[in-house]
Structures are given as structure tokens and as C-alpha cells.
Amino acid sequence: MKVLVLRFSSIGDIVLTTPVLRCLKQQVPGVELHMATRRAFADLVAHSPHVDKLHLLDDDLGGLIARLKAERYDHVVDLHHNVRTLRIKSALGVKSTSFPKLNIEKWLLVNLRIDRLPRVHIVDRYLSTVAHLGVRNDGQGLELFIPKDREVDLATLPEAHRSGYVALAIGAAHATKRLPPHKLVELAQRIEGPLVIIGGPDEVAVARTIADAVGARAFNAAGKYDLLGSASLIRQARSVVAHDSGAMHVACAFKRPVVSVWGNTIPGFGMGPYQPTHPQQAQIVEVPGLDCRPCSKLGHDQCPKGHFRCMEKQDLGRIAELART
């Protein structure tokens, strides 16, 4: 059997597909497993021992479709379920299954406060697409593979950080999923011991502000490493503090203790920190009792209410204490 898995973005969503890749490869005898994703995220699956061939999307969807048609798949597993993947499935013309996105249920909760969301993690919703092939959740959680030559050598960090540090991942896709800069500064000051600030190019300015406020015990890694380099720093951390973000899922893939800080979104959407083998390591911190949460299934550029209580009222002392685990 030749199977194609589709998931084009983003970091966290792709990491969340890894149980499907592993379980398919290990539980379906002789399966040839391919995956298609965006080139920007290729490193997340390029080194997986479960993927036989990787197909990358740039801007030319037609070219990708032509390459995929030449492969003659038996089955397509759509873990993205959008207009782009619909075009691909229609063009390939083979049997396909798509995961339930629950958009209606999420809309009802966000807009009408009617909660009809099933208490099912997205990993199990992803796996439901291959249940007809006899594939079951093996309970081993998420994965991410980093080649040795892509790992960050801790000897290149300041000496104080080589024996252990807390990774503070300050990014997230939307502003209402991130602690505001002044809260990140206060949190960093409360976290004890060596600190490594993780972030991409968009977080460089905020990371510099945090590092300046904390001083020498903070190593500012924001914007200095590629995707796998940042993942390597998360893998080697003593514990990780992250928002509802890709960094949270990367930390779970490496079975690191993670404190996840939630703003406008909620774990009830089914994308909370997933560590079935070490559930005690996946901590969720949110402000209880806010009737304005969730205000979006994704996020906003600013708080729709103007007060941003879901982040302004976070218990930073508790987050810092949990990070000491």
C-alpha cells in the first residue's frame, strides 16, 4: 500500500501529526509512506524514519499535484482539510480520508458559548483518519528527529547554562496567544537560574528587552538559530515555558516538562500539551472565570475587549514555580 499524508502548516500542527506517521508505518505491513508539506517546515519531518519520501510545496500547487499524480497512491490521508488539499484529492482521484476539524463546534463555543466540543485531543482526531486501516494510537506521543549535525552544542552557550536551564519560548502565531512584553520581562525575572530565550526573527526585539532586564543569566537565542536549532535548545532544557504554540508541542515531542500559558484560546479545542507517557509533565496555566474566553479559535492582533485579562491576570509566580520542576 502506498499512502500520502497531507499537512502543510504550521510547526505545532505538523508535530502533532507524528503519531499518525509512526503508527501507520509500524502497524500497516509493507506500507510506503509519503508526506507533503510546505518547504518552510520540511525539517520537521525530513529526518523521520517513518517517512519514505517527502514532497515539498513552494508556491506552485499545480507542480506539486503533477508530481503527486506520478506516484500513483492507493490512499490519501488529509490532516489539513482545506481548499488546497481538496484540490489535491480531487486531482489524484483515489480513496481519501480527512480529519474532523470541528469548525462548527468551535464557532458555537466562541460566538454563542454553546459547548459541543468532544473531549478528544487532535492527535486522536488525526488518527481517526487511518482507523479503517487497522491503525491505533500506540500511546507513545509526539516525535521530532534532529540529526546530530543540527544539534546545538551546549559548549557554545555561556558556562552557566551548560549544566541546565529553563527555556522561555516567547513566540506564538497571534498576539492574543502571547504574554505582553512587560509580563514576559516580569516572568523572566521571576524564573530562577539560567534562562534561554527562544524565539524567531519576529521576537528578536522583545527578546532583547527581556535579556536586558534579566542580565547575564539570560542567553538570548531569539533569531540566532534555525527551526531545528531552536528545537535542539528546547530538547536540552531542564523545563520549558511556552504559549499555545509550536514550541509547546516541540517540548512535548521531547518529553520535556512544559508549562503552557494560555490566553484567548483554550485547551478544550483539543490542542493542549500532549504527553501521554508523562502527563504530569504537561502543565496548563490559564486565568479561570473569564466569560470572554475563548474569543477566537486562532487568535487576534489585539484583545477584542481591550483589557487582555486572559494574559494580564496570569499568575506569573505560579508559572515560575512550575518551571522549577
pLDDT at residue number 30: 97
Give ∠ CA 141-38-227 in degrees, rounded to 5. Answer: 60
Is 145 part of a structural domain of the chain? Answer: no
Q: Is 325's pLDDT higher than 90? A: no
* Residue of 17, 161, 163, 170 lying closest to 80 (CA atoms): 17
Q: Give tens-digit pLDDT for 167-225.
A: 999 999 999 999 999 999 999 999 999 999 999 999 999 999 999 999 999 999 999 99
Closest CA to 278 of 318, 233, 325: 325
Neighbours of 136 (CB within 10 A): 11
- In the listed set 83, 98, 133, which residue is the last one of a domain according to the structure? 133
In a 3-state reduction of DSSP, which class is residue 90?
helix
Distance, in Å, from the CA atom of 233 to the CA atom of 230, rounded to the nearest integer, reads 5
For the chain, give the mean pLDDT.
97
147: amino acid identity, one letter? P
Are 110 and 168 members of one domain?
Answer: no
Q: Is the pLDDT of residue 65 over 80?
A: yes
Between strands 258-261 and 218-220, the pairing is unpaired
Together in a domain, 186 and 256 = yes
> d(Cα 321, Cα 325) in Å, to the nearest integer?
8
The count of structural domains within the chain is 2
227 pLDDT more than 80: yes
H/E element, 252 = helix 246-253
Is residue 125 a part of any domain in this protein? yes
Q: What is the pLDDT of residues 133-149, one digit of tens each?
A: 999 999 999 999 999 99
Q: Is residue 146 part of a domain?
A: no
Residue at grid coordinates 509550536:
246
Contact (Cβ atoms closer than 8 angstroms) between residue 92 and residue 22? no
220: CATH: 3.40.50.2000
Q: Are 323 and 259 in contact (CB under 8 A)?
A: yes
How many other CB atoms are found less than 10 A from the CB of residue 177? Answer: 22
Q: In this structure, is residue 153 part of a structural domain?
A: no
pLDDT digits (tens, 9 = 90+) for 232-291: 999 999 999 999 999 999 999 999 999 999 999 999 999 999 999 999 999 999 999 999
| pTM of the predicted model as reported, rounded to 2 decimal places | 0.97
Q: For residue 241, give its domain range.
A: 160-323
Residue 80 lies in a domain: yes
**How far is 103 from 240, CA to CA, in rounded Å?**
30
Q: What is the pLDDT, as a whole number, of residue 319?
A: 98
Single out the residue in 133, 151, 168 at which a domain terminates. 133
Q: pLDDT for 74-112, tens place per residue?
A: 999 999 999 999 999 999 999 999 999 999 999 999 999
DSSP symbols for 111-135:
II------S--HHHHHHGGGGGGT-
Q: Do 72 and 189 lie in a common domain?
A: no
